Chains A and B, each alone.
With several copies, the nearest count.
Chain A
Amino acid sequence: MRHEILLSGFGGQGIILSSVILGRAAAIYDLKHVIQTQVYGPEARGGASMGGVIIDDEPIHYPKLRRPDIYLIMSQEGFERYGAKAEAGAVMVLDSDLVQSRPGCRYFEVPATSVAKKELGKVIVANIVMLGALVRATGVVSEGAIERATLESVPKGTEELNLKALKRGRELIIMGGEG
Chain B
Amino acid sequence: MVKDVPCMRLVIDENRCKGCNLCVLVCPYKIFREGKKPNRKGIVVPELDRPERCPNCRLRQLYGRTICGLCQLICPDQAIDWIGEEPYEHMKVAIEY
Contacts and interface: CB of A to CB of B under 8 A. Distances in A.
Nearest to A77: B41
Interface string A132-158: 000000000000000000000000000
A32 B41 CA distance: 36
A98 B43 CA distance: 12
Contacts of A75: 42
Interface in A19-77: 46, 75-77
A46 B40 contact: no
A10 interface: yes
Contacts of A76: 40
B18 interface: yes
Contacts of B18: 46
A38 to B, nearest CB: 19
Interface in A70-113: 75-77, 98
A10 to B, nearest CB: 5
A98 B42 CA distance: 8
Contacts of A46: 18, 41
Interface residues of B, number: 5
Contacts of B40: 76-77
Interface residues of A, number: 6
Interface of B is mostly: loop
Nearest to A46: B18
A75 B42 CA distance: 8
Nearest to B41: A77
Interface string B24-58: 00000000000000101110000000000000000
Interface string A1-32: 00000000010000000000000000000000
Interface string B1-26: 00000000000000000100000000
A46 B42 CA distance: 9
A31 B38 CA distance: 40
B2 to A, nearest CB: 41
A49 to B, nearest CB: 11
A98 B37 CA distance: 11
11 contacts: A10-B41, A10-B42, A46-B18, A46-B41, A75-B42, A76-B40, A77-B40, A77-B41, A77-B42, A98-B38, A98-B42
Given A46-B41, A76-B40, 7 more contacts: A10-B41, A10-B42, A46-B18, A77-B41, A77-B42, A98-B38, A98-B42
> Which 6 A/B pairs are nearest by Cβ-Cβ distance?
A10-B42, A76-B40, A75-B42, A77-B41, A46-B18, A98-B42
